[in-house]
Structure 1
Amino acid sequence: MYIYKCEVKSGPMLEIKYYKSLRKRNKKNIARNFNQAKTNEKQALANRIRGEQHTQRLILCNFTKGDWFARFSAPKGEFTEEQFEKIVNNFFKRIKRRAEKIGVQFKYIGYCECGKLGKNWHLHIVIEDCIREIATECWQWKNGINFTPLYQDGNFADLAKYIRKDVCGKKRLRTSRNLTKPEVTVVEGKKREFKKLEKGEALPVPDGYYFYKDDMWVNDFTGASYHFVFMQLTATRRLTNNEPKTNQRNE
């Protein structure tokens, strides 16, 4: 059994994960002794969690408080999915051309969705504040535009869940290719550190961060894994004498 420590840096969020693996990382030509496939329910849950985490990291890497979650709808039109996708593609091309003229990039994360009755196709996307005016000018249905400001309360976790919900149903996830990706570092973990976590000991909070939350889950084959989330300290938040330097995990 191999132990690994994974650090994921996504904008102001730092995740540290400790986990065990039956196979050595990046080692090639190792045959598997048996199929360790999860049940459909567990695999679906794992895929959903990974999808939400990936989307949250992308939002944190590319957007911040003051940017927007926008809805662009076609309130007076009835379209097939293919027709609306063509409308959205042309909409994105117009935004990109205008953004390039003023020297800014057009980044987005979102989805296309249709109403419950099969009408009112609309697009939800996260965009930067510098794109708001351009996008408003480029959308042909002026009464079908709505903007909601982004707040980092919850580190965009709820927004990521909302964006990923039912992506295999009527939602069609869309992301631009120019998004900044999170920084991922994986190294071999120390057995002593892992044993401390198994005993319930706290993980030291990295300098410049404060503890946000932690999770523990159990794999049917490799046992317990540990996931810690820290957020960067800002000018409006500093550690006080009442805030511990390490997180306290509840068993």
Structure 2
Amino acid sequence: MYTYKRIVKCPNSIEIEYYHTIRKPGKYYGGRGLNRNLTKEKQRKANEMRTTRKWERIIDCNYDSSGWFCRFSAPFGVFDSEEKFMREVRNFFDRIKRRCRKKNIEFKYIGFRECGKLGKNWHMHIILSDEVMKIAKEYWRYKDGGINLTPLYSKGNYEKLADYIHKDVCGEKRMMASRNLKRPEVSVKPASKKEIRRLERGQLIEPPKGYYFCKDEFASYINDITGASFYFKFKPLEFQK
């Protein structure tokens, strides 16, 4: 059994996780294999939580409070299939990219496309920087379809937005993300037995300098095979005010 400490650094957060594993990092154990059993409820929730954290980190690494969560809609009935709508979206993105290149602006996005229940109300929700949003507004051809803009949260709390983006309750969402997105800084190193014993006794770790402990984000888990793991999240002190 191996015990590790994973540190994930984003512009507006530091996450620290202590966990046990039977696999040694860097060693190949073969493929994960095919899971022939239905996912248990606890595993499903854990998967959703990991996905939300993944997208929350990516949003944090690529946007700030000047960014926007945008909805670009086509008028009802203009597109009767996803293929036709995506052809328009690709052309829309190409127009934005050309303009961004001329202005030396990086074009990147995170979001999803979806359609209403009748299959004719195609639209997309994407996160854009302020500069790109202004260009996108200019190039979206369906002004009568609608453009809705919501500013990103000023304190870098993107959990609800990340959850909304990836969670597909009705099976109608299609994730969209550019390839040039920045990723968080991740480091993994062995954790000492002393650290683990303190955590198991209920002692919490000290926040990094300049950060405060997010009590609502703390989590501990018990795995029947690997034992306990602990997750901490810290935010900059200025976000506490």
Give TM-score, length-normalised by structure 1.
0.87
Match of 1:247 in 2: none
Runs of 4+ aligned structure 1 residues displaced above 4 Å come to 29-32, 35-39
Match of 1:194 in 2: 196
Aligned equivalent of 2:222, options 213, 218, 223: 218
Aligned AA for 2:236? Q
Between stretches 189-198 and 210-219, larger displacement belongs to: 210-219
Shift of residue 31, structure 1, vs aligned partner: 11
| Residue 230, structure 1, aligned to residue 234, structure 2 | yes
Shift of residue 226, structure 1, vs aligned partner: 0.5
Match of 1:179 in 2: 181
Secondary structure of the 1:111 match is strand
Aligned AA for 2:220? M
| Residue 25, structure 1, aligned to residue 21, structure 2 | no
Match of 1:128 in 2: 129
Instruction: Provide the C-alpha distance between the structure 1 equivalents of 2:72 and 2:220, rounded to a whole number of angstroms.
Output: 39
Residues 31 and 131 of structure 1: CA distance in aligned 2, closer, same or farther (over 3 Å): closer
Between stretches 209-218 and 21-30, larger displacement belongs to: 21-30
Aligned AA for 1:40? T
Match of 1:159 in 2: 161
Give TM-score, length-normalised by structure 2.
0.90
Between stretches 126-135 and 209-218, larger displacement belongs to: 209-218
Instruction: Provide the C-alpha distance between the structure 2 equivalents of 1:31 and 1:93, rounded to a whole number of angstroms.
Output: 38
Instruction: Provide the C-alpha distance between the structure 2 equivalents of 1:31 and 1:58, rounded to a whole number of angstroms.
Output: 26
RMSD: 2.4
Residues 59 and 80 of structure 1: CA distance in aligned 2, closer, same or farther (over 3 Å): same
Deviations 1:184-230 (A, max 9, x none): 00001111001100110021110121111311122231121100000
Match of 2:46 in 1: 46
Secondary structure of the 1:88 match is helix
How many residues align? The count is 236
Instruction: Provide the C-alpha distance between the structure 1 equivalents of 2:188 and 2:169, rounded to a whole number of angstroms.
Output: 29
Shift of residue 26, structure 1, vs aligned partner: 1.5
Structure 1 gap segments, 5+ residues each: 239-251
Residues 223 and 209 of structure 1: CA distance in aligned 2, closer, same or farther (over 3 Å): same
Asked if structure 2 preserves the Cα contact closer than 8 Å seen for 1:167 and 1:173, the reply is no
Residues 104 and 31 of structure 1: CA distance in aligned 2, closer, same or farther (over 3 Å): closer
Instruction: Provide the C-alpha distance between the structure 2 equivalents of 1:125 and 1:29, rounded to a whole number of angstroms.
Output: 38
Asked if structure 1 preserves the Cα contact closer than 8 Å seen for 2:65 and 2:155, the reply is no
Shift of residue 176, structure 1, vs aligned partner: 0.8
Residues 193 and 52 of structure 1: CA distance in aligned 2, closer, same or farther (over 3 Å): same
Shift of residue 39, structure 1, vs aligned partner: 5.1
Match of 2:109 in 1: 108
Secondary structure of the 1:123 match is strand
Shift of residue 237, structure 1, vs aligned partner: 5.0
Deviations 1:154-208 (A, max 9, x none): 7110000000110882111011111111110000111100110011002111012
Shift of residue 78, structure 1, vs aligned partner: 3.1
Match of 2:6 in 1: 6
Deviations 1:25-47 (A, max 9, x none): 22236899xx9988512443332
Residues 78 and 100 of structure 1: CA distance in aligned 2, closer, same or farther (over 3 Å): same
Secondary structure of the 1:125 match is strand
Instruction: Provide the C-alpha distance between the structure 1 equivalents of 2:108 and 2:122, rounded to a whole number of angstroms.
Output: 21
